[in-house]
Structure 1
Amino acid sequence: MTEQLPFRFGAEVYTWFMNNDGQTHKGRLGHMIEVIANAQFTGIQPIHFWMGDLSDPDRLEEKLKEQGIELAAIALALDWNGTEETEQETKEANQTISLLKRFPGAILCTVQKPSGRHDLTSRRRSLVNIVNNVSRRAMEKGVPCSFHPNSPHSSITRTEEDYQVILESLDHTATGWTPDVGHIINAGMDPLEKMKEYASMINHVHYKDWNGEPEFALMGEGKVDLLGITQWLKDRDYSGWIICEDEGEKALDDPDFVTLHDGHWIKEVLLPGLK
């Protein structure tokens, strides 16, 4: 899928998690790895608390090798609502960092679970401090990091002001930025322009499509200029992962189909359009 391209394509497991808050497909990471491989993706990004018995590095490595794909990243998704990490949050972060050490180059993708836009000034400051601390611990262990903003109305990393305050306050020696093109447009911003603004921070990318009805669409059926964004990444020789995290409505009923569709769409429609 990625011949003669500087970047590689992978898939996120959130496409399966959407159904019933993860309960429907809980414990099926092995199946997801198989589907993602069948879709001709070359990498996967699981969620740290949703890996089941494949949180064991030996089992995970064996399954990945069996299917011929890599661990691109793990999403460390936590509340981080205090002024500092809770004891449990520190434990989960350190466990995830330890797991990632087994897979050199795989990224710790930090994500805050949305929980309201109250006390924005202090909570954005606390989030930055926590993400910086987690990222520095990971960096000391040789694990690269990237921060992933999201766009629900209850997120404190949603608006243009949020992006400016948070991205510019992160420790750029410890963490990069994961632009999620669907979340950016969902919050009323232009994905490519925002990516150009903070281009030096990009070390991981998430793709999803969006149509505003009310939010996300099956890849290729929305309004995100995925071709233009991919061309820009190619032109600047971006060499990281592009992770497809399809949150279209069809994923609620058939995440396997959606993942296979996305792999086919990238190979047959997106890539042939590149110059």
Structure 2
Amino acid sequence: MIRDLKVGCQTFTWEMLGEAWTGMPDDLLAAISAGGYSGIEITDTMIGHYATKPGEFAKALADRELQLVSFAFGSKSGFTVADAMEKDLATAQRWIDHAAQFPGALVSIGSATIVSEGSREDKFAIAAEFYNRAGALGKASGVDVAVHPSSHHNTLLFNRADYDRIFALLDPALIGWVPDTGHILRGHEDILDTMRTYQDRIRYLHLKDVDANDQWAMLGKGVLDTPAVIDLVSQAPRFNGWLVLEEESETAAADPAAAIKANRETMRSYGA
């Protein structure tokens, strides 16, 4: 079991504010550092002017004593449109090249979503081809690439059957998995069985909580058995030690910085 657990923060907590968010990437770094985190997972929509300046981003992280855990991105294609494949792969290469400047950083690719009419089977095949090819690009550049399924509207990857279907099509030598506890809980009856079944694909973990009605809840305020999940993921053979907290509750929408600070305190009660 990995004992050297590291706690990072995902920036979607601010992204979900939409136009109400008027800050800059340095504001995110300041809040996350002040919240007691040691790492950050940033998205393509939140990286701002650092998108083309990895050297400056590295310095900004170092100044805040933060590490880049992962770079996360999605696509309007939902990765299920064949005609968008080459464009999406070019985007993947761009962020793989960016992440390659940060030792140990991964690239996390968002959930496949249904954005057009057509067969679900066809969409699984298109998404799997994209993920596998993106993983091959990462392998060639020395960057681990992983898929991050979600339970958001129009997701192709919601319940256990969906997970079984996509993982049957993904090459575990090329593409890993970033399990998200909140998203799994909203679509699966047994989160621990799901994570145990695909434990060998886990690279790092997204921690979120939901209540009994599948509504987002602050960490420790919902139904998630956080210690059990941490114990399970710690035994995954390729788990890198990072627990990344992502908060989507109404509490976070009201005050993102306060919410992530409260979640970091909750993690300390779990020994991380």
Fold-level similarity (TM above 0.5):
yes
1:241 equivalent in alignment to 2:238: no
Q: Distance in 1 between matches of 2:145 and 2:263?
A: 26
**Structure 2: runs of 5+ lacking an equivalent:** none
Partner of 2:267 in structure 1?
266
Partner of 2:61 in structure 1?
64
Tell me, yes or no, if the aligned pair for 2:106 and 2:146 is still in contact at 8 Å: yes
Q: Distance in 2 between matches of 1:44 and 1:212?
A: 29
1:8 equivalent in alignment to 2:6: yes
1:45 equivalent in alignment to 2:41: yes
Aligned residue for 2:196, secondary structure, equals helix
The offset of 1:65, in angstroms, is 0.4
Aligned residue for 1:33, secondary structure, equals helix
Greater displacement, 66-75 / 162-171: 162-171
After TM superposition, the structure 1 = structure 2 runs for residues 104-183 of structure 1, keeping only pairs within 5 Å, are 104-112=103-111, 114-115=113-114, 119-183=119-183
Q: Structure 1 87/145 Cα, relative in aligned 2: closer, same or farther at 3 Å?
A: closer
Partner of 1:25 in structure 2?
21
Tell me, yes or no, if the aligned pair for 2:50 and 2:56 is still in contact at 8 Å: yes
**Structure 1: runs of 5+ lacking an equivalent:** none
Q: Distance in 2 between matches of 1:172 and 1:149?
A: 15
| TM-score normalised by the chain length of structure 1 | 0.90
Deviations 1:198-243 (A, max 9, x none): 1111112110000044521011111011111112334567433111
Q: Structure 1 201/87 Cα, relative in aligned 2: closer, same or farther at 3 Å?
A: closer
Aligned-CA RMSD value:
2.0
Q: Distance in 2 between matches of 1:84 and 1:45?
A: 29
Tell me, yes or no, if the aligned pair for 1:124 and 1:166 is still in contact at 8 Å: yes
The offset of 1:112, in angstroms, is 3.0
Give the letter for the 2:6 counterpart: R
Deviations 1:53-101 (A, max 9, x none): 1221022111100000100001121222312544542332221111011
Tell me, yes or no, if the aligned pair for 1:146 and 1:204 is still in contact at 8 Å: no
Q: Distance in 1 between matches of 2:15 and 2:45?
A: 11
The offset of 1:165, in angstroms, is 0.8
Give the letter for the 2:179 counterpart: P
Give the letter for the 1:226 counterpart: T
Q: Distance in 1 between matches of 2:20 and 2:224?
A: 29
Partner of 1:256 in structure 2?
257
Give the letter for the 1:83 counterpart: A
Give the letter for the 2:7 counterpart: F
Partner of 2:94 in structure 1?
95
Greater displacement, 184-193 / 81-90: 81-90
